[in-house]
Amino acid sequence: MSDQCNPQSCGCGSSRASQDGDGDTQRRQFLKFGFASFAAMAGAVGFHSFEAKAQSKKGDAKGETCGGPTPALSTSGKLIDPITGKEIEKEPHYHSHAGNKAVREGIPNRKWVMVIDLAECDGCEKCTSSCSKAHNTPPERQWIRVFKMSGTAEKKPYWFPKPCFQCDDPPCTRVCPVDATFKRQDGIVLIDNERCIGCRFCMAACPYSTRYFNWGPVKNVVEAGYTPEKSTPRKMGTVEKCDFCPDMLREGKLPHCATACTMGAIMFGDANEDAVTDAKGRTYRLSKLLAEKGGYRYLEELGTKPSVYYLPAKNPTYDPPKIDESEIKEVAMNFGFAKENSNV
């Protein structure tokens, strides 16, 4: 993330205005979940204060922000304690046990969004491999999966990376019988694998087929320090999926897929700030970008309100995917990839 959209740069209260600008969904969501009072409180709390809270791990955010000194921002973009003059250390290893309030509520005053420019994606799958590496996923599992979209005679084929859409009205969290998967106020949908009972109702409910189940024994690199924000270590018999890397976000970094995208096709940012940044360090105004390039959300008509936007594959900068015509059978107007399920 570049400096101008660095989470630290928005101090107390400064982001309240921008939230009103683009925070329609968020506002509704607050009201819906009865978080209105929390929102008012959170509006006064910057990201840094949360870090302070995470470090001390006690007390409520409000008391700590307004009570303590307001950190200053150095020219190099580091947070400085105005009294001691020392750099405020970022939490090196954010850790919380399941059920931790902060994990369930999310990063205050944020509304994380992803924008994927289909005209830039060349299908290299670096996003997938970097995500898989970071999350130690088994070989076949791809939290962000790149689809070959064929289109029709009128529409050129194109690449379509699909992470979890982190819907603002998620069908998955609604059906969870034990609140193991939940929607946070910063827009992220997470899973607590210490709570999950493995009924897989969320998988059935997700119209985007974005969730994965640990069908058998799992191999973890590290066995300790689980938090839903890291989604690892994974556990047998529980569900997992793309989590928008909240552990990276807490450190002010982009998610792994966005960092790995050499084309700069994956942009990530905060809708409250109305800004998204790509791996090349370019920052765009979200509303302008979506308006100018005709941004859309996939299957928006389902009413799930995804947090992932796509920019259409107009004048692509890459070679379109090659489609083996003999393997596919056109069935409908948009995607022609439904093979006949003759031998399943």
User: Which stretches of the chain bind another protein, using CB under 8 A?
Assistant: 141-142, 145-150, 160, 162, 171, 174-180, 195-201, 203-205, 207-209, 211-217, 236-239, 298-299, 302, 304, 328, 331-335, 337-344
User: Using CB atoms within 10 A of its CB, is residue 215 exposed (0-12), middle (13-18) or buried (19+)?
Assistant: exposed
If the CB atoms of residues 38 and 147 are measured against another protein, the closer one turns out to be 147
DSSP 69: P
If the CB atoms of residues 38 and 335 are measured against another protein, the closer one turns out to be 335
Report the first-to-last Cα separation within the chain, whole angstroms.
Answer: 45
If the CB atoms of residues 88 and 205 are measured against another protein, the closer one turns out to be 205
Q: Are 222 and 76 in contact (CB under 8 A)?
A: no
If the CB atoms of residues 223 and 340 are measured against another protein, the closer one turns out to be 340
167 three-state secondary structure: coil
Q: Which amino acid is at 33?
A: F
Q: How far is the CB of 142 from another protein (least distance, A)?
A: 8
Q: How far is the CB of 173 from another protein (least distance, A)?
A: 8
Q: How far is the CB of 294 from another protein (least distance, A)?
A: 20
Of residues 125, 117, 154, 157, the one with CA closest to residue 312? 117
292 three-state secondary structure: helix
CA dihedral sign of residues 21, 67, 64, 245:
positive
The residue to which tokens 């990063």 are assigned: 107
Of residues 270, 254, 303, 261, the one with CA closest to residue 116? 261
List phi, psi (to 5°) of 56: -80, -25
Q: How far is the CB of 317 from another protein (least distance, A)?
A: 21
If the CB atoms of residues 172 and 249 are measured against another protein, the closer one turns out to be 172
Q: Tell me if the bond preceding 233 is cis, omega within 30° of 0.
A: yes
DSSP 54: H
If the CB atoms of residues 238 and 272 are measured against another protein, the closer one turns out to be 238
Q: How far is the CB of 114 from another protein (least distance, A)?
A: 17
> Using N-to-C axis directions, what is the helix angle for 24-32 and 36-43, rounded to 10°?
130
The residue to which tokens 């982009």 are assigned: 254
Q: How far is the CB of 231 from another protein (least distance, A)?
A: 16
Q: How far is the CB of 300 from another protein (least distance, A)?
A: 12
Q: How far is the CB of 216 from another protein (least distance, A)?
A: 3
If the CB atoms of residues 83 and 333 are measured against another protein, the closer one turns out to be 333
If the CB atoms of residues 73 and 203 are measured against another protein, the closer one turns out to be 203
